[in-house]
Structure 1
Amino acid sequence: MDRTERFYKIELLLRSRGCVSFDALRAELDVSPATLKRDLQYLRDRLSAPIVYDRFDNGYRFEAGDGSTKAPRQELPGVWFSETEIHALLTMHQLLAGLDDDGVLARHLQPMMDKLQGMLGADESEARELMRRVKVISTARRRVPSRHFELLGSALVQRKRVWLRYFKRSDRRVSEREVSPQRLVNYRNTWYLDAWCHASDGLRRFALDAVQEARPLETKARHVAVKDLEAQLDAGYGIYGGGAKVSWATLLFSAEAAQWVANEEWHAQQKAHWRDDGRYELQVPYSDPTELAMDILRHGDSVEVIGDKALVASIAQRLRQASRLYA
């Protein structure tokens, strides 16, 4: 039984029996007197558990905070984790911090992280060392002002509409919109908001770094089921996954490039197989070729688009334009 399990056991014993002697606690936990003393002291000092020694009954019990004889309903946190699980949660926190702009998420999660580290007790330094040894390297991150992230996240949780002033990069225009937030998406180190746009009467995806101003509204947000979000916004390739028509691109990678590409997931619905000559054929759905073309181009002469004439022509044109820069 590890220490967090002992804490839980102590809480149950005091809850069910009211007052439990030191010897009875030792017998139930099967620990030494010194270990039990450390556990009781830790529960009182670090987790603020109101455990007191009752001289009259010669045992330990929870002390009621209002002067009554009845103990409060909940003294200790209702959820307990093993030390292995705590280490996993702290590691997850460090990974999440790598996605965090301006420390917004970390700031709200820090009290929970402090408590998790406190639950490790003597292993607290080990947990901190573990977190320092998990590193997330983010490239080309587009930072989001914390005020916008918090406001939109709050509106999403509270199911409220938001007014946005938004800069659309494709035509370099600024528009004002009323939206119902549906989902926050982190994609390639950039945050996006999936929302129902009441101006265009449909689902749209907004880059948070392009939000110039945001204001919460008291109007209740329109609800869109997750399955409908996925069907309309995730069907195609990448962040441009939405669209009425979805086409399939067939990419043929060289045997050398295949060693890496074969272990990559380009899309949840992708299809792939190895050819006899060691090349790797990958099929991915797309509705807008913009991002797919960028990913194809980064593989240079290690990939060939086959069958899709429109996509082949688009890639060829971009390669010709790029080659002129270095002629």
Structure 2
Amino acid sequence: MSQTERIHQIVSLLETSRHPVPIARFLDELEISRATFKRDLEYLRDRLGAPIVWQRSETGRPGGYRLQGDGGDASGFALRGLWFNQSEIYALLTMHRLAGSMQPGLLAEQSSSLLARITHLLGTADDDPQAILDYIAIVQSATRRRPSPWFELVARASVRRRRLDITYYTRSRDATSQREVSPQRLLHYRENWYLLGWCHTVRDLRLFALDAMRNVSLLKSAAREVGAQRLSCALGEGFGIFGGAARRRAVLRFSAEAARWIADEVWHPQQRLRSEGDHLILELPFSHSRELIMEVLRHGHDVEVVEPQALRDEIRQMLERTLAQYAKP
């Protein structure tokens, strides 16, 4: 539980209790230590100006904390200036955007109430929730315009552990094929939905973009289960969503100017950074080169692939084809 949540719960207990709240109740309901409670209490008093006072025990009633405002009551107090840290505001705004963009289907009935609850959470005593949504936003990166009509069916098959018959369009080959797939994981990555599934046609794990599914049918057959370790390996070892088992390691050299940004970026959990004169060297594991090449090209002349040679050759050939297009009058 974050400090923001604890602060809200402490104030809620003080506001709703008819009698002073003993320390034991705070510790029990918040599941925190006495030291943590003391720190939160100090924060409430010193930073937020909460008029929290200790009332000594009376006959038949233990001592405890209560709110005391002007005239002996707490009617004038509110949580003013309480704000979220960057991870909390990012999580809430992300949930708000995802809930707001839900298509009718699997969670249609719940999405409106979820949206209202998230909107309420975004507000504080001084800030209207809508004002926060107006002035703080998460900007979407490139997303595909075609929404998938198959999300509900794919999600249902994933939860119920059933196989799917998928008519799938592979953009890289400009070809359509029929696949029998056992769903393993639904993934939301860079504004798009993907299904990691065991493809019975090729007898291996494959990643399917939901917006590239042309038709989907739910089969009666039970889905094949793939071990968690193998799924983790398929998703997490290499660079990007097409990671797979990392079989190669890329060494990238960034210019002094680009290094000011790259030094604070995490491209991969297992990356290594080191200085080389005015340059910055980034090493990271990868399996498939496609997504890594796209990221490298984004930095233009500010980055050079040092190793492996095969990756250098791929990028050189791609740049030669690009230059050839601009050589035409």
TM-score, normalised by the number of residues in structure 1: 0.68
In structure 2, relative to structure 1, the CA distance for the partners of 1:134 and 1:202 (3 Å cut) is same
Please state whether the residue corresponding to 1:240 is helix, strand or coil. Answer: coil
The 5 A counterparts of 1:57-72 are none
Aligned equivalents of 1:106, 1:89: Cα separation in 2:
23
* CA deviation vs aligned residue, 1:60-87 (integer Å, no higher than 9, x gap): xxxxxxxxxxxxxxxxxxxxxxx868x9
Q: Which residue of 1 aligns with 2:95?
A: 96
The Cα of 1:254 is off from its aligned counterpart by: 0.7
Q: 203, 206, 218: which is aligned to 1:204?
A: 206
Q: Which residue of 1 aligns with 2:50?
A: none
Work out whether 1:137 is the aligned partner of 2:139. Answer: yes
Aligned equivalents of 2:13, 2:194: Cα separation in 1:
40
Work out whether 1:171 is the aligned partner of 2:173. Answer: yes
Structure 1 contact 97–106 (Cα < 8 Å) conserved: no
Q: Which residue of 1 aligns with 2:12?
A: 4
In structure 2, relative to structure 1, the CA distance for the partners of 1:125 and 1:240 (3 Å cut) is same
Q: Which residue of 2 aligns with 1:247?
A: 248
Cα RMSD, aligned residues only: 3.8
The Cα of 1:131 is off from its aligned counterpart by: 3.0
Q: Which residue of 2 aligns with 1:21?
A: none
Identity, % of aligned positions: 33
Structure 2 contact 123–132 (Cα < 8 Å) conserved: no
Q: Which residue of 1 aligns with 2:258?
A: 257
Structure 1 contact 117–124 (Cα < 8 Å) conserved: no
Q: Which residue of 2 aligns with 1:319?
A: 319
The Cα of 1:155 is off from its aligned counterpart by: 2.2
The Cα of 1:167 is off from its aligned counterpart by: 0.4
The 5 A counterparts of 1:141-152 are 141-143=143-145, 145-152=147-154
Aligned equivalents of 2:129, 2:251: Cα separation in 1:
46
Structure 2 contact 253–280 (Cα < 8 Å) conserved: yes
AA of the residue aligned to 1:191:
W
Please state whether the residue corresponding to 1:291 is helix, strand or coil. Answer: helix
Q: Which residue of 1 aligns with 2:161?
A: 159
Please state whether the residue corresponding to 1:196 is helix, strand or coil. Answer: strand
The Cα of 1:228 is off from its aligned counterpart by: 1.5
Structure 1 contact 91–131 (Cα < 8 Å) conserved: no
AA of the residue aligned to 1:296:
V
The Cα of 1:266 is off from its aligned counterpart by: 1.5
Q: Which residue of 2 aligns with 1:271?
A: 272
Q: Which residue of 2 aligns with 1:287?
A: 287
Q: Which moved more, 1:1-10 or 1:224-233?
A: 1-10
The Cα of 1:9 is off from its aligned counterpart by: 5.8
Q: Which residue of 2 aligns with 1:234?
A: 236
In structure 2, relative to structure 1, the CA distance for the partners of 1:261 and 1:118 (3 Å cut) is closer
In structure 2, relative to structure 1, the CA distance for the partners of 1:100 and 1:170 (3 Å cut) is farther
* CA deviation vs aligned residue, 1:243-289 (integer Å, no higher than 9, x gap): 5x6111110111111111111222222122122x2211011212222
In structure 2, relative to structure 1, the CA distance for the partners of 1:125 and 1:253 (3 Å cut) is closer
In structure 2, relative to structure 1, the CA distance for the partners of 1:207 and 1:164 (3 Å cut) is same
Please state whether the residue corresponding to 1:177 is helix, strand or coil. Answer: strand
The Cα of 1:325 is off from its aligned counterpart by: 1.8
Q: How many residues align?
A: 269
Aligned equivalents of 1:116, 1:209: Cα separation in 2:
28
Aligned equivalents of 1:207, 1:286: Cα separation in 2:
20
AA of the residue aligned to 2:280:
Y
In structure 2, relative to structure 1, the CA distance for the partners of 1:169 and 1:121 (3 Å cut) is closer
The 5 A counterparts of 1:20-59 are 30=66
Please state whether the residue corresponding to 1:141 is helix, strand or coil. Answer: coil
Work out whether 1:195 is the aligned partner of 2:197. Answer: yes
Structure 1 contact 90–131 (Cα < 8 Å) conserved: no
Please state whether the residue corresponding to 1:239 is helix, strand or coil. Answer: coil
Aligned equivalents of 1:303, 1:91: Cα separation in 2:
30
Q: Which moved more, 1:144-153 or 1:257-266?
A: 144-153
Please state whether the residue corresponding to 2:251 is helix, strand or coil. Answer: strand
Q: Which residue of 1 aligns with 2:57?
A: none
Q: Which moved more, 1:299-308 or 1:119-128?
A: 119-128
Q: 114, 118, 123: which is aligned to 2:116?
A: 114
Structure 1 contact 238–292 (Cα < 8 Å) conserved: yes
In structure 2, relative to structure 1, the CA distance for the partners of 1:150 and 1:261 (3 Å cut) is same
